[in-house]
Structure formats: C-alpha cells, structure tokens
Chain A
Amino acid sequence: MAMQVKERPVPNGVVLELTGDLTYANREQFKTAVEAVRQKGCRHLILNMADVRFVDSSGLGLLALVSQNFKLGQGKVSMLKPQSYVREIMSLANIQKLIPVYDNEQEALAVQQRAA
C-alpha cells in the first residue's frame, strides 16, 4: 500500500502524519518528507504512526536513520500511537530505545519542553 505524508507544524516541532505502509517501496517518499522537515531546521520531529499498518525491515532502517540524522543536528525524533502490530515489529529491533513512543501529542511536546 502507498504512503501519504502530511506535515503539520506544532510549537517547537513538526508532526508528520503518516498513512499507509512504511516499507521499501515507499522509502523515497518518506525520506523526502523527513529531509524537507530537517532542512527547515526543525529540532523535534514527531512521527504520527496511528495510521501506519505495516513497517518492514527497510522501514525499521529508515526510522533508525532518521533518528541518527536528527541526533547529529542536536534534534530529536518522537513517535505517536503506533498500532500494536507495528509496535511489535519495532520492538524486535528495539526502535523505542532510539525513538521514544508517546500516546498523545501533548505528552511528546511536554517532554521536549522540559528538555529545552
């Protein structure tokens, strides 16, 4: 299934609303969307995973890559509401250790403010 990405600015960050599958087939689209946000100087990227049905092994690599790239720029990446199946796939590669997972946006933003 294809992926749709919508960008939404929030205080001190950007939320990317992802819909569809985060997979090898959609890697360019995901990379482009994230890179656009990073180029604008965003320091906190929040990936809303609520409408992502599936993440494959390439998708896991992309998540790790995004986390590394934001870290290099002193930024951070958070994740919102992954579905249970996606959460399970990600836990096998310990993604939550790289990208903290939150159940709502306020929580993700609050952590950012405390850190700042």
Chain B
Amino acid sequence: MSTSPSPTTPFNTRSNGVQTVLVVDDEPTARIALAARLKRMGYRVIEAVDGKSGLDALRRERPDLTILDWMMPEIDGPSFCERVRQDPELLTSQILMMTSHDEPEQIAEGLARGADDFLSKAASKYEITARVQSGVRASTLIRRLEDATEEIRRKQEVLERELQSAARYVESLLPAPGTVLPGVQMVHAYRPSLGLGGDLFNIVSWGDGVLGLYLLDASGHGVSSALRSAALSTFLRRGNLLRHVGSTDPGAILTEANKQFPLTEDGNYFTIIFARLDMRARTLSYATAGHNGAFLQRVSGEFCWMAQPNFPLGFDASTTYVTTDLTIAPGDRLYLLSDGLYEVPDASGELWGQDRLEETIRGFGPRSLTDVVAGSIQEAIRWQGHEQFPDDVALMGVEIAV
C-alpha cells in the first residue's frame, strides 16, 4: 500500500488528517458563510464571536490556521495578532486577517502588527481556497519544526541524564580524602570540563607503609576519554598490577601499561604519573609518561617538579619507562595535577602557567593542605575570570606528617 499523501491533502499534521481552522468574527452572517465554505473544503471549523473568545479557542484548540476579522469590538484584529505574538505558547500560530478595505497602508499595518497574510472580504472563492491552503501549509511546516525541536530537546535530556550518571560513576572511582597511610594525609579537587572527565587519579595500597599514587589524563574530551580513563584505572588496580606486572615499581607499571594501551585510531592516548611513597624507607619513587604535572614541595621550601620529557603511553610500544627516586622528609607535600589546572587562559589569552601555580602555592605558606588545594583551584578560576575550566582539572595533594 502506498503511504504517500494524496495530492489534495499534501500536509497532514493531525493523526486523523483533518486540519482545524478557527474563524474569529463578530459579524454572524460573514462568519457562518465562511465557516460553511471551509467545512465544504474539508476542514474542521471552530467559530469564535469576538477577540477574547477567539484567544481562548486558539489556546485550547491550537488550530492550524486562524482567520480573523479586522473590525471587532474590544480586541480588534491587529490587537489580537499582537497578543498572539507576545505569547510564547501561541506565537507561531498562522493568522490570516480579513478586511473589507484592502488599502495598502492597512495591509502593511496588519502585517506589521503580526498577521501572516491578508484576505479581502471581496476575494473570490479561488483566492480564499488558495490563501487558506497556503496558511495551513505554513502552519504544518512550523508544527514539523516544533515537533523536531521538541524531539531534539527530549533526546538531549536523555543524553544529559546518561552523562550525569556516567559522571557520578567516574567520581565514585576517586579515592576518599583523609589518612591514606599512617602519617600521610591526602586531599583532592576534581573539576571535569564537560561533566564527564578524562582525568582520573587514585591510590593503590601496597601494604607495609607503601602507597601507590597516580594521576592520568586521557587526551580528547567527553565520553570516549572518560571510558578510556576508567579502563586504564581498572588496569591500575592493586590485584591486577600484582598479577600482570608483578612489581610495585612505577617504571615497570608504566612500561606494561604502555603495551596494554596503544594509541587509538584517532590518535588518543594517556599521559600519566605513577608514584610510590615508601614511608619505611622515606623515599618517593616515580615514573612519568608525557606528564608534566607533579611536584614535591619540600619542607625546606624547595620545589621539585617531577617531569622528564618522554613519550605519553601508546606512542612507542618499545619504550621502557624509568623510575626516579627522591628522599622525603616529614612536612614534605606532594602534588599530582593535570595540566588543565594551569593551562587556563586569561581574557587576553595568556596562560596561568606552572610558574604562577608554583608562586601561588608558595604564597599559601604553612596553610593546611585542604586550603592550598582549594585555594589553587580558586586562583586558577580568578585568572581565567570564570568558573568553567576549558579542560578537565584534577589536583591531588599529599602531606607527610611532621
């Protein structure tokens, strides 16, 4: 069976295919005659005897077309049009205004005040038919546009709910702040740019006073980078690392992760820092893969950025990542962060940068780790002049108790 519309009813909006025309005219003879003609043309017709009941009917019935008399007591045709155009619910209604005097100035005024088209009361049967059809056609197109917009809005809402749920899951992967080892406090801040972030960080309890810490940054944005980050963080769980790497050595862990996570077909990859804090030996060992955001703030005031130019994960499968060792002392603070924290432009495009971040943290002096973490985020926000970061921001601070 053919489903294409017949030539006489090219635009059907309602399920029953019958379109509705509202006729608003205080003059009974003219209204009844026009209504009868429209019914013969196959339309469902609603009649209203004045502007006020016309507006009520328009709101109630949402007809495909409204045919309106100019001259009416109280609310006349042009005032009717103005009210319709100011009402968000009604403003897309199609209005055909009728008048007995079709002076060009009057037509211009009617159009200016909100009518879509004009029809002279002296118009021929053919003209009336043509103008009504044209009005209904326009109204059908507008309805389709409205339906499509509504459909998009609904789908967008569903997507956003799903994104929020995924974002909550990602945040549930983050470690709880507090005492992560006897004498070791951890505080963090996490500000994904799109609700769903590609940055992740966590701790791995190796036992016996040894703690693993990492912060990773997936290139790209949104859902795909969040999925890849979650996959890598699953790989970086204690049991999995002991099974597949058999070592708590950061370099060995990144060397294996590099084999497991090649570049994606879009060239996406991870940068990461993996550290190992050994409270018995008072050492901090770390390895990085293309990641530049980590430093040790020694109790002496010295800043030690833990960066080495090397490949991010996935750039070259044969890379061996090397572990570097530092000694630590009570009062030292370790910060792991994503470049999203300091690569924020101000109004002129100048980036905040690592140096200003270092200065900021230095300036906080002996304030608590919680204050420093929150204050650094605030300072980046102050630099860019707004709350919304262009990239994901993650910052984890760790303090060795004095």
> Is B267 positioned at the interface, with any CB of A under 8 Å from its CB?
yes
Interface residues of A, CB < 8 Å — how many? 19
A61 neighbours in B (Cβ, 8 Å) = 219-220, 263, 266-269, 312
B221 neighbours in A (Cβ, 8 Å) = 24
A58 neighbours in B (Cβ, 8 Å) = 219-220, 267-268
Q: Which of B281-295 contact A (CB under 8 A)?
A: 290, 292
Q: Quick check: A94 and B267 within 8 Å, CB to CB?
A: no
Q: Quick check: A94 and B219 within 8 Å, CB to CB?
A: no
Q: Quick check: A94 and B311 within 8 Å, CB to CB?
A: yes
Q: Hey, what's the 0/1 contact readout for B307-319 against A, CB within 8 Å counting as 1? A: 1011110111000
> Which chain A residue has the least Cβ–Cβ distance from B312?
A93
Q: Quick check: B220 and A24 within 8 Å, CB to CB?
A: yes
- Main SS of the interface on chain B? loop
Q: Quick check: B309 and A98 within 8 Å, CB to CB?
A: no
Total A-B residue contacts, Cβ distance less than 8 Å:
60
B292 neighbours in A (Cβ, 8 Å) = 92
Q: Hey, what's the 0/1 contact readout for B73-108 against A, CB within 8 Å counting as 1? A: 000000000000000000000000000000000000
- Main SS of the interface on chain A? helix
Q: Quick check: A93 and B268 within 8 Å, CB to CB?
A: no
The docked-state distance in angstroms from the alpha carbon of A92 to that of B316 is: 15
The docked-state distance in angstroms from the alpha carbon of A55 to that of B263 is: 18
> Is A42 positioned at the interface, with any CB of B under 8 Å from its CB?
no
> Which chain B residue has the least Cβ–Cβ distance from A65?
B267
Size category, B interface: 20 to 34
B266 neighbours in A (Cβ, 8 Å) = 27, 31, 61, 65
Give the shortest distance, in Å, between A55 (CB) and chain B (any CB).
12
Q: Which of B305-359 contact A (CB under 8 A)?
A: 307, 309-312, 314-316
> Is A108 positioned at the interface, with any CB of B under 8 Å from its CB?
no
Given contacts A92-B290, A92-B309, contact A64 B315 (CB under 8 A): yes
Q: Quick check: B263 and A68 within 8 Å, CB to CB?
A: yes
> Is A40 positioned at the interface, with any CB of B under 8 Å from its CB?
no
Q: Hey, what's the 0/1 contact readout for B263-304 against A, CB within 8 Å counting as 1? A: 101111101000000000000000000101000000000000
Q: Quick check: B267 and A98 within 8 Å, CB to CB?
A: no
B311 neighbours in A (Cβ, 8 Å) = 64, 93-94, 97-98
> Which chain A residue has the least Cβ–Cβ distance from B262?
A68
B314 neighbours in A (Cβ, 8 Å) = 64
A27 neighbours in B (Cβ, 8 Å) = 266-267
Q: Quick check: B309 and A91 within 8 Å, CB to CB?
A: yes
B307 neighbours in A (Cβ, 8 Å) = 92
> Is A57 positioned at the interface, with any CB of B under 8 Å from its CB?
yes
B265 neighbours in A (Cβ, 8 Å) = 65
Q: Of the candidates B263, B271, B290, which one forms a contact with A65 in the assembled complex, judged by CB atoms under 8 Å apart?
A: B263
B219 neighbours in A (Cβ, 8 Å) = 57-58, 60-61
B263 neighbours in A (Cβ, 8 Å) = 61, 64-65, 68
The docked-state distance in angstroms from the alpha carbon of A62 to that of B269 is: 10
Q: Quick check: B316 and A98 within 8 Å, CB to CB?
A: yes
The docked-state distance in angstroms from the alpha carbon of A99 to that of B109 is: 70
Give the shortest distance, in Å, between A19 (CB) and chain B (any CB).
19
The docked-state distance in angstroms from the alpha carbon of A54 to that of B334 is: 31
Give the shortest distance, in Å, between B225 (CB) and chain A (any CB).
10
Q: Quick check: A60 and B312 within 8 Å, CB to CB?
A: yes
B312 neighbours in A (Cβ, 8 Å) = 60-61, 64, 93
> Which chain A residue has the least Cβ–Cβ distance from B317?
A68
> Which chain B residue has the least Cβ–Cβ distance from A66?
B267
Q: Of the candidates B220, B267, B309, B310, which one forms a contact with A64 in the assembled complex, judged by CB atoms under 8 Å apart?
A: B267
Q: Hey, what's the 0/1 contact readout for A43-71 against B, CB within 8 Å counting as 1? A: 00000000000000110111111101000
The docked-state distance in angstroms from the alpha carbon of A91 to that of B292 is: 12
The docked-state distance in angstroms from the alpha carbon of A57 to that of B313 is: 13
Give the shortest distance, in Å, between A101 (CB) and chain B (any CB).
14
Q: Quick check: B290 and A93 within 8 Å, CB to CB?
A: yes
Q: Quick check: A98 and B315 within 8 Å, CB to CB?
A: yes
B309 neighbours in A (Cβ, 8 Å) = 91-94
> Which chain B residue has the least Cβ–Cβ distance from A91?
B309
Beyond A64-B263, A94-B309, 8 extra complex contacts between A and B, CB < 8 Å: A57-B271, A58-B219, A61-B267, A61-B312, A66-B267, A92-B307, A98-B311, A98-B316
The 10 A-B residue pairs with the shortest CB-CB distance, nearest first, are A65-B267, A61-B267, A62-B267, A57-B219, A64-B315, A93-B290, A61-B269, A61-B219, A94-B311, A65-B263
Q: Which residues of B contact A (CB under 8 A)?
A: 217, 219-221, 263, 265-269, 271, 290, 292, 307, 309-312, 314-316
Interchain residue pairs with CB less than 8 A apart (5) = A57-B271, A61-B266, A93-B311, A98-B311, A98-B316
